[in-house]
Amino acid sequence: MPASVSLRLTTENRLAVRARVVIVACVVASERLDAVPDEVLASFGVAGVVPVRLPGGQGTTWRAGPMVLKPADSVREGRWFADVYDGLNGPGFRVPRPVRAVSGDWVALGWTCWRWVAGTAADWSGVSPRWPELIAVSRALHAALADVQVPGWQNTIENPWVIGDQVAWGEREPGALLGPAAGELAGQVRRLLAALRPVGLPNQLIHADLAGNVLFADGLPPAVIDFSPLVRPAALPLAVVAVDTLQWSQALPEILDHLADEPEFDQLLARALIYRHVTEIIMRAGTPGIDAVARAGQPVTDLILARLAR
């Protein structure tokens, strides 16, 4: 499931340990935090405001008046993400602006703060009328991100999403991840891997999780929230939205007609689905949830393989 769907790790998932996979930030929200500390609210100038937990994601994001508060994965990541969005400008999109703490830092007590942006996530079922807008905002956003430099430490991060991405692009062998605990999903990944061919597209900084993170509001450009950074071709985020909505939002295959002019798009679709499948395996192998993912993924896997075989 995409990051916008609640995730639970159980004690039965030992596959990641055997594969020496580091799993971070994948616990249920109620197990991670129940409130924003008063010291954090004071640090960002909203002392006395009662924060409200926002839906979606991992349940760790809170609104406090005009501000949105979220724990940083690390201080350096929180500072870098804020620097990126602070300098990012349209046209064609909005992003939430980071807010400095009273100390002047982007991070306070492990938390970051952002301006609230208006908008509502789309309904992606069927053939959503929002697809042309989503494509346009993704292209505008990634044009703006194209020249953003990625710090070297970003290459040292290891989490389920990074590992899934590396497997999808042939930079990491799946190894034990595709063992018996992965169930039928392992076979889908193997078939997709066997269908991959080289992709001659340039890499750049991308936001890899747009489906639930683009907000639409009348009279305003779409807003892109959160940030899931990878360094891949600029059209990959659209492929990820396509596989996410086909698998989890009852989208119809006709949505792919909107993307017919994207170079190498079927290969990007295959890599996007491997990315999602491997991430699911890391988090769910050996648990009942892995079978549900395999059932939802099978028709999408079959669709993409049929397109690649044409």
Q: What is the CA radius of gyration of the chain?
A: 19
The confidence score (pLDDT) of residue 90 equals: 86
> What local confidence, expressed as pLDDT, does residue 20 receive?
40
Residue segments in the chain with a per-residue pLDDT below the cut of 70: 1-33
pLDDT at position 31 is 40
pLDDT tens figures, 121-133: 999 999 999 999 9
The CA distance from 50 to 35, in Å, is 10
Determine the Cα–Cα distance for residues 241 and 265; give it in Å rounded to an integer. 12
Query: Over the stretch 261-291, which tens digit does the pLDDT of each residue have?
Result: 999 999 999 999 999 999 999 999 999 999 9
User: Which residues lie across from 64 on neighbouring strands?
Assistant: 67
Q: Output the pLDDT for position 56.
A: 78
Is this model's pTM higher than 0.75 or not? Answer: yes
Q: How far apart are CA 6 and CA 172, in angstroms?
A: 27
| H helices present in the chain, as ranges | 15-18, 29-32, 38-43, 75-86, 131-145, 160-168, 184-194, 236-248, 265-284, 289-308
In the chain, the domains with their CATH numbers are 15-26+119-308 (3.90.1200)
Q: pLDDT per residue over 223-268, tens digit each?
A: 999 999 999 999 999 999 999 999 999 999 999 999 999 999 999 9
Calculate ∠ Cα 213-41-228, nearest 5°: 25
